[in-house]
Every structure is written in C-alpha cells, then in structure tokens.
Copies of this chain bind each other. A is one copy, B any other.
C-alpha cells in the first residue's frame, strides 16, 4: 500500500498514526501542498483523488481510497486489532462524535485552501488567518473537552482510539498557530500521553521525510 501524504496535513497525520498503531506497513509518498502551486492539483494526483486533498491510500491492486476517516474505517475492517473504536454502539458513536467534531467542525474550516481563499477574497493577512484558525480551534476544543471522559488515560479509555488520533493531529495545528491551551488541560494531558507512544511520535509531522525538504 502507498499513502500519499504531506508532513503538515493533519488529515494525513491521522492516517499515519492509525497505520502505526495497527503495525501496518505502507510506503509514504509525499505530495507537496505548497511547492509549484500544490502537487495535489497535478493530473496524476487528481486521477487518484479528485478532491485535490491528501491523504490518499492506494491499495496493492491500485484502488485509491480517500478521506482520512474513511481510510481509517477501511484499516479498522482489515486490521481490527488494536481496535480504534469500541464495539458497543453507544460508546462507538460517542468516540466517533468526538473524532468528527475535530474532523468536521474544526479542521475543514481551517484547511489550507480555506485560509488561502480568505486571503484571496478578503485580503486576510497572515495574522488574520491565524486568528481565524484559533477562533475555530477554541470553539471546537471547548466542546471536545466537554465530550471526552474526564478520568481515563486516553480520551475514552485505557488505550488510544480514533478520538485521540484526531485530537493529537489537531493539537499540532493548535501549537503551530498559537492557540492558548491554558483552558484545555485535559486535552493537553491526553496529547502528552499519546506523544509518549512510538505510534504517535513516529507519525509526527517533523519526523516525516518530506519535512526535511520543506
């Protein structure tokens, strides 16, 4: 399998963590979202992913899967251990809701192309763009902190799962764009515990081969 990835894409970062947690080997193929106007717009890449976004997972038979959480759903089906979602339907829906809060309500509004469009349409400065991103991260983290369990090692239990994956990847952007994390002690505690695990640490943006070339 090949994962088309970009070091700073938090959506790709989620899939890298999931692969590592499950011990799945995949070749990393960097897609530079910035260089040359963005390699995600190249015809070759669009044949794999018509949405102009990373990540894409290409299976050995050539099938291309897109959307980070759909890719992780596929990995969960083929490599069920360790499980990233609980078996109980209510518990599963609660973990999914926390993951979706990050993946739907925070991340897309702050995506590179959205802040680029903000610059093109409203002359948003770099500081305006960072303020935009912090606004949505703060709103989302307020809710997320109320959704995770208050007293477990990870967001919802004894082992990291899909909510932890989405949280840790989003935390990279929170640090990058200077979100005040003081109100989010519980989320920071989960992040610290995850970061100590090799599956998370090795998936981190700065550990990716394409980080060195940037």
Contacts and interface: CB of A to CB of B under 8 A. Distances in A.
Interface string A138-153: 0110110011000000
A69 B67 CA distance: 14
Given A92-B74, A93-B73, A101 B52 contact: no
A94 interface: yes
Given A50-B143, A89-B77, A94 B65 contact: yes
Contacts of A97: 65-67, 70-71
Given A93-B71, A121-B132, A109 B114 contact: yes
B143 A52 contact: yes
Interface residues of A, number: 47
Residue among A67, A77, A78, A107 with max Cβ neighbours from chain B (10 Å): A67
B74 A105 contact: no
Contacts of A78: 89
A73 B92 contact: yes
A69 B69 CA distance: 12
Interface in A56-87: 59, 63, 65-67, 69-71, 73-74, 77-78
* 10 nearest A-B pairs in the assembled complex, by CB-CB distance: A50-B146, A70-B96, A77-B89, A51-B143, A74-B93, A67-B97, A70-B97, A67-B100, A122-B122, A50-B143
Interface of A: 50-53, 59, 63, 65-67, 69-71, 73-74, 77-78, 89-90, 92-94, 96-97, 100-101, 103-105, 107-109, 111, 114, 117-118, 121-122, 124, 128, 132, 135, 139-140, 142-143, 146-147
11 contacts: A51-B105, A52-B139, A66-B97, A69-B96, A73-B89, A74-B93, A77-B89, A78-B89, A105-B108, A105-B111, A108-B108
